[in-house]
Amino acid sequence: MTDILRLTLAILLLTITLAAYFLVIGALFTNRVARTQTSLNLTPGRAFGLGMVNFFFFGLIAFVMLSLAENAGPFIKGILTIPALLILAFLSVLLSLGLTATVQLLAERLFPDMSAWKRNLWSSVILCIACALPFVGWFLLLPYIAFTGIGATILGFLQRNS
């Protein structure tokens, strides 16, 4: 019984933390998130495909580099580990911007009458709870949101200034 309470508390704290994180990212990188949100709004299918391909390509490169570094000497381990960690950090940045744009898009659609920070807060809570749903949230919604967010961020970087 205590494991269930511990897990519930952990999920609740992670949801609050992610909601605050999305609010901060949206406030600090307003233009970048807006461009990502525009590409997410206009071409979600293209963003999903681009995000999935890039995630698996760069993820595989990082995985291979970390696997090779595991059995290498100390010098080679550093040479292989640092670029792999940089690749993973870059994917994390893309994912953060994409998820923030997804939260803002969801907020505009669900809560159009609320103030911006309240609707972003509630939409991030709703998205976290929806992604925590067993099986459907874990294996369908979360990968879709993640791949689409990564792809929309890449498309936002490639979008011309208008």
pLDDT in tens, 80-98: 999 999 999 999 999 999 9
For the stretch 21-50, pLDDT in tens is 999 999 999 999 999 999 999 999 999 999
128 within a domain of the structure (yes/no): yes
User: Range of 133's domain?
Assistant: 2-47+94-158
84 within a domain of the structure (yes/no): no
* Number of structural domains found in the chain: 1
- What secondary structure letter does DSSP report for 160? P
Angle among Cα 153, 148, 86 to the nearest 5 degrees reads 55
pLDDT at 1 over 80: no
Pairwise CA distance, residues 150 & 52, whole Å: 8
Q: What is the pLDDT averaged over residues 132-147?
A: 95
58 within a domain of the structure (yes/no): no
87 within a domain of the structure (yes/no): no
89 within a domain of the structure (yes/no): no
72 within a domain of the structure (yes/no): no
